[in-house]
Amino acid sequence: MKLIQATKSKLVFLLGSREKRSLPQVLHLYPRVPAAHHVLSKSGRLPDAQANQRLLDEALTEQRAENKKLVQALLADPRRFEPTETGARLSLARTEAEWLLQVLNDVRVGSWVILGSPEEKPAEVTIATAPHFVAMELAGYFQMQLLEALGRET
């Protein structure tokens, strides 16, 4: 994934054939962070903690549903992934790239949580853990490319 154009409002990336296949696969994993992972307070010492937790859960559910729709719309838009000889050209508004960072972060962190929140990479990748490890690493890769592009001056 290589940035080929950056303006004040738009980013254009060149994706290789593997990246063209991988990005949609990673995005289809959204949402990945388990709903129970988001707690308002670990201590539970807030007034009306259960009602406030319910409000947080409802807001997260709505946000996830909206993000899921936006992911599907992004992937269904043929103008987004313009085919090239070696893959595709991906065009994003800067605001969309920032939103995409949040979606990719959910996939990366969610995969890490599913793997047991290891402090280091697992010593052994198994058939059971490999898909989560790959999702975590790919989401991180795409995040880094977006962050680098967003940091570029126009």
pTM: 0.88
Q: Are 13 and 93 in contact (CB under 8 A)?
A: no
Q: Are 43 and 10 in contact (CB under 8 A)?
A: no
What pLDDT, on the 0 to 100 scale, is given for residue 42? 63
What pLDDT, on the 0 to 100 scale, is given for residue 48? 79
Q: Is the pLDDT of residue 39 over 70?
A: no
Token duo for residue 126:
């198994």
Q: Is the pLDDT of residue 35 over 80?
A: no
Tens digit of pLDDT for each residue in 79-92? 999 999 999 999 99
What pLDDT, on the 0 to 100 scale, is given for residue 38? 59
Three-class secondary structure of residue 82 per DSSP: strand
Q: What is the mean pLDDT of residues 6-20?
A: 96
Name the strands in the sheet holding 10-16, side by side, starting at the edge strand that comes first in the sequence. 2-6, 10-16, 87-93, 81-83
